[in-house]
Structure formats: structure tokens, C-alpha cells
Amino acid sequence: MIVAESAAEVRAQIRAWKQAGLSVGLVPTMGYLHEGHASLVEKSRSLCDRTVVSVFVNPTQFGPGEDLESYPRDFAHDCALLEERGCDMVFHPDASALYPPDFATYVEICSDMPKQLCGKTRPTHFRGVCTVVTKLFNIVTPNMAFFGQKDAQQLAIIRRMVRDLSMNVEIVACPIVREADGLARSSRNSYLNAQERAAATVLSRSVAVGRDMAARGERDARALVAAMKTVIETEPLARIDYVDAVDGVTMQPVDVVRDGVLVAMAVHIGKTRLIDNFIVGEGV
């Protein structure tokens, strides 16, 4: 497995692979990898000849007071996992290389799509995501890029950006990977103490309630969301950021629960903010 620190190294290797007629898959990550990331690598390996994983805690997607400094990092462990899973190249740039001191160019969706859901409390988050993903696409020039359905709004925004900016990359979504007790895998789960870890299952329990209601024919988004919130409110350590039902493509709030509607939540468990979601009509 190649470990590249510079864009130039990545470009040289990609050029060689493309000249040999090989397709390239990219899995952008912030590291501290878990089975969710591993499933993206696996998907990429099944569809592309070569798989590149970027490991980069992207400062521009963190807001003031968020967890940029404390975000968990373990590059040695990440490399071991990626080597074991058959990743071909890890791109692990330094922040100062990707963002020179006078960096100022951003890619932004200027509609209210990035203002819904997580954007309500993280107003600059998706601008940072779009910007770094654009940079990674420009460096790696992947044929396909793989994103987890857990970050559903990110996925929808990346798809929109790719379409709007005529980027020549296929975006592949991969299902949420969960722990045995239902908790969606997340690098931020490492923040939870034992008591919080137990409480955190309230997200997936709420998701399960919502999915069952929708499957049984509930069409009133307000009633569905209210029932899901009630589940979360049973947990004293949980504080709801949002639970919303939105159009799965535009992220606009909906009144009626139909197939393709995204029901998404962000919940604080102690100081840790976790997200989860489901799409109506799609399997677990």
C-alpha cells in the first residue's frame, strides 16, 4: 500500500494507473477508521481497479467551538486497517499543504439545501465539505467516489455539487454500518463514556420506530417525527438537535411521508453530537 503525503505523489501514481487503463475509486475520510469506512473501501474495490483512501481532518468543515482539535486521530491504526482491506493508496496530506495561509476559494451550494438539517447549527460545514471534496477530486481524479449514507445530507450535497459543476465522477452511496446494538458507526462514538454509549442507542431505536411507522403506512411527517422525538426524550442524557423529514434530493421539509423521503436526526449525548437517519422505502 502506497502512503502519499503530497498531491504530486498522488498525481504521479494516478497517471500511471490511468495510463495502464485502470479505474480509480476514492474514499474520502477524516480517519479514525471503522467498519463503516471499511465497507466503503470494500465497495470501491468491487467496482474499481484501484482504491485510494484520503485521511484528512479537514479544518474548513469545522465551525468555531466544534471539535477540530479533539477529533480522534490514529493514522497508524488507519494504515493497518486499510492495508488489511486491500486499499492501494492512502493520501494523508498536511493541512498547510491543502490550505496555504491566504487560501480563500470555496465551493458552496447557494440554496437553502445546506441550511437544512445539520446546516441549521453548522452554517459553514457543507461549504468546507464541498471545498475539500472538490480538491480531493481534482488531485485524485477518481472514476467513482464512495460516501456513507450515514452522512445523508453530505451525500445529497455532493451529488448536487457534482452535477452543478460538471464533475466527471460517479458518486456511490453505501449503507449505514451499525454496531450490534444498532448504534451507527462513527469516529465520534469514541467520545462516549460507558453510560453515554448505552444512551446513544436511543438514536437507532428512534430510527427503528420511524421506519416501522412508515412501513406500516404512516404518511403524516409531523406524527412520524413526533413519535421519533418521544423515543429520544425517554433518554435523560439525550438532547435533540433536530429530527426532520425532508425530500431525499433537495433536503426541503416535507409534510407527507413517501418513498425516498429522508428522515434524519442529530442528537447530543452528553457533549457528543451524533447523527442517524433512514430513507423511507429503503431496507435497513
Give me the residues that bind its own copies (CB under 8 A), please: 7, 11, 98, 100, 102-111, 113, 130-131, 134-135, 138-139, 141, 160-161, 163-168, 250
Decide whether 111 or 195 has the Cβ nearer to its own copies: 111
Cβ 96 to its own copies shortest distance, Å:
13
Q: Cα angle vertex 152, ends 236, 127, to 5°?
A: 105
If you search the block for the grid coordinates 423511507, which residue do you land on? 280
Cβ 137 to its own copies shortest distance, Å:
9
Distance separating the N- and C-terminal Cα atoms of the chain: 33
Classify residue 124 as exposed, middle or buried by CB count within 10 Å of its CB (0-12, 13-18, 19+): middle
Decide whether 96 or 217 has the Cβ nearer to its own copies: 96
Look up residue 63 and give its DSSP letter. Answer: P
Q: How many CB atoms lie within 10 A of CB 104?
A: 6
Where would I find the beta strands (DSSP E) of 152-237? 170-174
Among 34, 37, 92, 268, the one annotated catalytic: 37
**Is there a catalytic annotation at residue 34?**
no
Cβ 227 to its own copies shortest distance, Å:
32
Decide whether 18 or 197 has the Cβ nearer to its own copies: 18
CA 162 – CA 174 distance, rounded (Å): 17
Decide whether 85 or 135 has the Cβ nearer to its own copies: 135
Cβ 85 to its own copies shortest distance, Å:
26
Cβ 41 to its own copies shortest distance, Å:
23
| Spatial strand order in the sheet of 2-4 | 2-4, 89-91, 50-55, 24-29, 144-148, 170-174
Decide whether 122 or 188 has the Cβ nearer to its own copies: 122
66, 62, 275, 122: which is closest to 189 by C-alpha?
275
If you search the block for the grid coordinates 485502470, which residue do you land on? 22
| Residues known to be catalytic | 37
